[in-house]
Amino acid sequence: MKRRIKIFSGKSNLSLVKDICNCLSIDLGLMNYIKFSNCNIKVKIEESVREDDVFIIQSGYPDTNEALMELLIIIDALKYASASRITAVMPYYPYVRSDKKDEPRISITARLVADLLETAGANRILAMDLHAPQIGGFSRIPFDQLRIKPTLCDYIIKKGIKNLVIAAPDVGSAKRAEGFARHLDVPMVIMDKRRYRDDEKAEVINIIGEVDGKNCFIIDDEVSTGGSMIESCRILKEFGANDLYAGCTHGILCNDASIKLEESPLKEFITTNTIEQQKQNDFNKLKVLNVAKLFSDAIAAIHMGTSVSKLFA
């Protein structure tokens, strides 16, 4: 008997969930969610999922810890409702920067998140553009990672930017930037950035490569406060760059990041809706790419047992 596919969702990114369901021509599963006065959460699945192939969509921002706990409770409820397979779909996977023990007595929280998902009852994880590749290896259950590169490269090509250079904001981003540069067949540069303590602002001290007279596109996986991006813009302009663009998969844009980016030398800032982007009338440089089709194709591939990697090959 062929398993039915069911989609359920947490509360973190309902607009993306709606778009994914529309792409799949599937109604969102019925679920009752209650948050009590003591901040405890109760979830009740309001339809049968026995032997179904279930996907729960939940981004890890905003309210990261609440979103994660909500996801774990939904997974647990589905497990006890006898779902055949449970896939945690996390467009933005939280705690990705806590991926290594680089100082004494700290948690490798990205590994802990993977352990929690498995313990709750998830059989598979689907996410997009992790901060570091080893995060997928933390999981003992299958972990599929989608890439924004083909979608963002198509957008860059359509813009027709001449004399283009791809810029990596730091050495750690060089491999990601190299992939974009190779796909677009353009040069790349790397900014040598130093952060002497976690609570200090990162400082770019040099650029490896030539940007004088070039139009630069800065590539990163996520932008939070925008401080590093602003510093990258400053140093690129100082080294003679012309027009500046920037793109990231996960636009967290907390505090006054949108104001800083709007006032920066950037001509355009491109991100995706892995994190729900509220319309900001004062952020005219913002362009949001919809990843619903990519996630719906990946969900369909997992359900049908076909290749996910071919979606972004």
Active site members: 193
Q: What is the CA radius of gyration of the chain?
A: 20
Q: How many helices (H) and strands (E) does the chain have?
A: 9, 14
The tokens for 125 are 């994880």
- Where are the alpha helices (H) located in the chain, listed in sequence order? 14-24, 64-80, 109-120, 134-138, 149-159, 174-184, 227-238, 257-262, 292-304
CB 293: neighbour CB atoms within 10 A?
A: 15
CB 268: neighbour CB atoms within 10 A?
A: 18
- Nearest Cα neighbor of 9 from 58, 59, 48, 65 is 58
Which residues are bridge partners to 87 per DSSP? Answer: 55, 124
The SS3 of residue 120 is helix
CA 43, 46, 48, 52 torsion: positive or negative?
A: negative
Write the DSSP string, 91-119: SS-TTTT--S--STT---HHHHHHHHHHH
